[in-house]
Structure 1
């Protein structure tokens, strides 16, 4: 079984590092562990390896340098890295990483990000995949990966954030959201029980993410205690933005961030905002009641992406926020679907009542929406409660309000808020595609390092997704960015010993289409091509 490095604190306060190897003891008949001391942690938290470990690693290095038997050629799969290299150059993230962490660690972070994007598996398994893609010279074994994650200290991460946000943050809108990430780790001080958005009975950490509306690139994130709610996080986030000298922006959040305190804090600190109002807020109910009869009008019609809704703007000047726009919306298509589903449900409930096959969980709806009478002659009669049904139809469902100190029209506010779909997709990437669904690492620093590598992956993936999204769906055969990466996975470069030029595998029609659409040069029939043309 594999080895892992653990920390054990001695009585004198020294933290020793041990290699812990689990193995099956045949004589004893159970699994046990073998631990070998390899060093300790210094005052600065960096590892100080002992003579045994240094000599052993030197022997491994010398063994690796022993000349291998002569091989005629070496084959490297380059299709995925050709795409990701282009995207990485386009974002400029590699240069900012180099300034923050140094060239060596920057290259390793990028390599692990490529592995996450293409495979989405544990970083400790990256070594073989990287070697097959020509990135094996970095020596990213499982233990080296752990050591790299330990080196990604918060001070260096903050340096990266300041440089990155300084180059890419805009004075326009920034999308902000919060998600929870479950963890099995027991030594992470951020792991606490709280509102779990995945409904898992596990300790969690909260992860806040800030994304630029203009570029679609993630700008910044912060790991927060798992018990911290949306409403108390904003103060800390704005404090960090001020320290990193990020320009003021329009804050676009979800209903969880709505509170008088949060809105007043944003205005007081000089930020504009666009936030939906929760349905249980009293003044929103009053606003809907005042304007719903005049909302469905030709002048309020909004057509976007094949859907139709109505939007109306009410302007007010408030002491707390100054000029404020209240945007009231109604979605008729969604309302029709809800009513149709409700009617189907009532018809099924009526059948249950008439057949006297009652379901206990439906009792409340029986009592509210039906009038049931029992007579000796006619037996049971079941009728709908028209008044209760009409009350449901006339309810405020599918009406909602966006409050904004930035967007002056209902269309502008709606476009701002719909950009949030991209942030939610990033969180899906983090927790599913990029193997952050359940953090199993025990070390706080290792978890933080892994999240930072994932953040870099999100930057690259966000730019690739935008590039692919700008291509006509029919031209790209409705392929997603992940589909394109899979299509080119087998495109390879063959390097022969001696003075021969590298030879590339013959690209398939699908691979040529992907390279052409993304304007990536490739070799076909011995000649280099780009966008279907010879260079």
Structure 2
């Protein structure tokens, strides 16, 4: 039996072999079996032979940040500064702090940028920002939810418009622009509604936030947004949207449109009035069938390219037979295989539901399409897959998608454009979450517009970070800006109060590579 250890105590012990005096966290206890006092010691640092100062190792200093530090030991503060150092560098390169400071007074510019840093790094409701800002060294005390709400209430529509004017002047060389039609609750990270077998979120009866977002065609940096009364495939809204953007005309803009609002009439209107556009064609459009059939027959002979997720995409380009536009066809074999496995898993669940006689209404169409139920004379039932069920998927358009455009011949640029569109939509996806509606009153129109503006600043930061990442070949092993931020998260400052000193974790090879690529300096420990 071993009794409870004593309170810890720091003791120095000199190593006779190398002459170094090490510091140990010492605890003694009574070992009743051996009838003697024993010690438990952990090395926590050493004494500098020249200055006599105590130098504690990083593991010990990190331990001091726990909520219940051992009594009698000095306080330590840990700050995750890696992500902030990187984002401050990105913001400075874009001149964002300068524009925000000239637009928003009374330190509001710094608060907006700090909240935008949170939105760039975290996919969480804004009311969670308080502790994050403190742990990353942006505020001394965590913001309360009422303080975040006050910040949102202080941002005015006039100030937002003033920011847009100044921001577009900074980027005035980016004359050619994409105008994205964004619905914040919809998801466009997939290409085809059929593949989800009726489960896509776009079909849910939820409130939608329709926006038009402009970005530079070549840099991908967002420039401005406006609210839409409907969507850009509403003919009146398409015609009037450009007037919301100062000094814009249809020759400078290409519309990147929401496929769920596709109609031949709308496409005809755009072509007739010489609007530049690209739009994903929904699978329900029967006219794409012959194009996909021909594409399928020659897949092995088609060229391929690599998308942003390092997946091989086969493609084919052809001209529309009815108007002056181009049809881009794409095929992702990995994606098709994933959807086939998903369908098989779903059908296995459907079979179990039928066997147990607990059908689900949402699966009724699947039951009727894929299963045959036979009743035996004794009253039992036999559930069988229909003979043609295996052919249904092989004949489907899963893995194929189609884009129609009159402004872009390069299929690789089409994929890149929709990658940007997906990222914009994903960034705006969490704006009306339930938590922020309750705690920050985001459902209030004025507060919501301020919340949207902060998300827009975060979008500028993430877009710039992604662009820089893609241009540097030495960082090709990092596929997204999220991975970059994840790599920087582990760089930490440890502040010791007695004696006052800042200690930094040793940078990883990736962190050093990022600092060289983006041009920022990681602080180092004193020798």
TM-score (norm 1): 0.62
Per the TM alignment, residue 215 of structure 1 is displaced from its structure 2 partner at its CA by: 2.6
Equivalences for 1:354-433 in 2 at 5 Å?
357=357, 359=359, 361=361, 364-370=365-371, 384-387=385-388, 389-428=390-429
3-state SS, counterpart of residue 280 of structure 1: coil
Q: Residues 159 and 264 from structure 1, CA distance in 2 versus in 1: closer, same or farther, beyond 3 angstroms?
A: farther
Equivalences for 1:186-201 in 2 at 5 Å?
none
Give me the CA root mean square deviation: 5.0
3-state SS, counterpart of residue 505 of structure 1: strand
Per the TM alignment, residue 403 of structure 1 is displaced from its structure 2 partner at its CA by: 0.4
Q: Residues 236 and 380 from structure 1, CA distance in 2 versus in 1: closer, same or farther, beyond 3 angstroms?
A: same
Per the TM alignment, residue 160 of structure 1 is displaced from its structure 2 partner at its CA by: 2.0
Per the TM alignment, residue 466 of structure 1 is displaced from its structure 2 partner at its CA by: 4.5
2:455 is equivalent to residue 454 of structure 1: yes
Length, aligned pairs only: 427
Q: Residues 430 and 209 from structure 1, CA distance in 2 versus in 1: closer, same or farther, beyond 3 angstroms?
A: farther
- Please give the alpha-carbon distance, in whole angstroms, between the structure 1 residues aligned to 2:231 and 2:509: 49
Match of 2:233 among 213, 231, 234: 231
3-state SS, counterpart of residue 440 of structure 1: coil
Indicate the residue corresponding to 2:98 in structure 1.
95
Query: Conserved in 1, the CA contact under 8 Å of 2:242 and 2:249?
Result: no
Per the TM alignment, residue 213 of structure 1 is displaced from its structure 2 partner at its CA by: 5.0
- Please give the alpha-carbon distance, in whole angstroms, between the structure 2 residues aligned to 1:466 and 1:347: 43
- Please give the alpha-carbon distance, in whole angstroms, between the structure 2 residues aligned to 1:351 and 1:146: 49
Per the TM alignment, residue 359 of structure 1 is displaced from its structure 2 partner at its CA by: 3.4
Q: Residues 301 and 212 from structure 1, CA distance in 2 versus in 1: closer, same or farther, beyond 3 angstroms?
A: same
Match of 2:245 among 218, 241, 248: 241
- Please give the alpha-carbon distance, in whole angstroms, between the structure 2 residues aligned to 1:274 and 1:328: 13
Per the TM alignment, residue 277 of structure 1 is displaced from its structure 2 partner at its CA by: 0.7
Query: Conserved in 2, the CA contact under 8 Å of 1:507 and 1:524?
Result: yes
2:292 is equivalent to residue 295 of structure 1: no
- Please give the alpha-carbon distance, in whole angstroms, between the structure 1 residues aligned to 2:246 and 2:480: 45
Indicate the residue corresponding to 2:8 in structure 1.
none
2:318 is equivalent to residue 314 of structure 1: yes
| Unpaired runs of at least 5, structure 1 | 1-72, 183-195, 497-502, 528-535
- Please give the alpha-carbon distance, in whole angstroms, between the structure 1 residues aligned to 2:320 and 2:215: 29
- Please give the alpha-carbon distance, in whole angstroms, between the structure 2 residues aligned to 1:437 and 1:208: 27
Query: Conserved in 2, the CA contact under 8 Å of 1:180 and 1:197?
Result: no
Equivalences for 1:152-231 in 2 at 5 Å?
152-168=155-171, 170-172=174-176, 174=178, 176-180=180-184, 205-212=209-216, 214-224=218-228, 228-229=230-231, 231=233
2:499 is equivalent to residue 517 of structure 1: no
- Please give the alpha-carbon distance, in whole angstroms, between the structure 1 residues aligned to 2:115 and 2:423: 23
- Please give the alpha-carbon distance, in whole angstroms, between the structure 2 residues aligned to 1:238 and 1:278: 26
- Please give the alpha-carbon distance, in whole angstroms, between the structure 2 residues aligned to 1:242 and 1:275: 25
3-state SS, counterpart of residue 416 of structure 1: helix
Per the TM alignment, residue 306 of structure 1 is displaced from its structure 2 partner at its CA by: 4.7
TM-score (norm 2): 0.63
2:281 is equivalent to residue 277 of structure 1: yes
Query: Conserved in 2, the CA contact under 8 Å of 1:468 and 1:480?
Result: no
2:509 is equivalent to residue 506 of structure 1: no
- Please give the alpha-carbon distance, in whole angstroms, between the structure 2 residues aligned to 1:391 and 1:401: 20
Per the TM alignment, residue 276 of structure 1 is displaced from its structure 2 partner at its CA by: 0.8
- Please give the alpha-carbon distance, in whole angstroms, between the structure 1 residues aligned to 2:404 and 2:111: 44
- Please give the alpha-carbon distance, in whole angstroms, between the structure 1 residues aligned to 2:383 and 2:185: 49
Indicate the residue corresponding to 1:8 in structure 2.
none
Q: Residues 436 and 231 from structure 1, CA distance in 2 versus in 1: closer, same or farther, beyond 3 angstroms?
A: farther
Query: Conserved in 2, the CA contact under 8 Å of 1:175 and 1:420?
Result: no
**Cα distance per residue 1:130-172 (max 9 Å; x no partner):** 69947669x9987776565445332332232233234337355
Q: Residues 506 and 400 from structure 1, CA distance in 2 versus in 1: closer, same or farther, beyond 3 angstroms?
A: same
Per the TM alignment, residue 219 of structure 1 is displaced from its structure 2 partner at its CA by: 1.9
Query: Conserved in 2, the CA contact under 8 Å of 1:314 and 1:326?
Result: yes
Indicate the residue corresponding to 1:335 in structure 2.
336
| Unpaired runs of at least 5, structure 2 | 1-74, 187-199
**Cα distance per residue 1:41-94 (max 9 Å; x no partner):** xxxxxxxxxxxxxxxxxxxxxxxxxxxxxxxx9999583543332111111122
Per the TM alignment, residue 510 of structure 1 is displaced from its structure 2 partner at its CA by: 3.8
